Amino acid sequence: MPGDSDTAFNPALNGPVEQHQPPQVFDAYQSTRLRGPRNNLIITPRGLAERTAPVYGHHNLGREDNDLTLQHAGTPLGQKIVIAGQIRTTDGQPVPNALVELWQANASGRYTHKKDQHAAPLDPNFSGAGRTLTDAQGYYCFITIAPGAYPWGNHFNGWRPAHIHFSVLGAAFSQRLVTQMYFPGDPLLAIDPIYMANPDRRVRELMIARYDRRFDIPGQALGYRFDMFLGPHGTPLE
């Protein structure tokens, strides 16, 4: 894994930030009107489980869990990509042995899920889910296929930009992050209410991966770096 000495910690957040996490109810993202809490959250004391659990071992992971292109007999359709990065806390400490999971649509913009009735074809050689553990320095790596954009019913002619869902579970249940990763230069970002829910552009940019040739597999796959930060001022929740 290439080092990150050329990358300042959390560089997007130099200066004051008006609002770091997206609001629980954002009218442009219509389903939040029904499922978003409208009362203040009730803070409960943290018990031992929230501070020390869960614990994962490498024996729980399959050999190909982090390579979504090898999980079936055939080769999936689409552009092969590598996504790699580091998981850190908001004070800059790496998070080793964090469970990192991803799920995504296929190259045509369709999920392998019975509720996804998008007319795009399914790919019998791509399930769209993987997982891995970070190493001692908090680094992770996946090999997958670039997802396609897809229409959704939030508003007229609404399309979700290409994205990948991530779940990170660190050293305790309190270190949990569920977010989305987007690709640089996507024209759909400016009209996507999920991405635009946070008013601060610098915070939104924490959800955009960057092309990084150090992660390329020459002649086979393009490389992207996506670092994630755990904590109240870290990577925004989806």
Catalytic residues: 111, 150, 160, 163, 165
Residue type, 153: G
Looking at residue 208, the DSSP 8-state letter turns out to be B
CA dist 97 and 149 (Å) reads 32
Contact in structure between 176 and 168 (CB atoms under 8 Å): yes
Report the distance separating Cα 46 and Cα 43, nearest Å.
9
Which residues, other chains included, contact 10 with Cβ-Cβ below 8 Å and sequence gap of 6+?
A: 90, 92, 206, 229, 233, 234
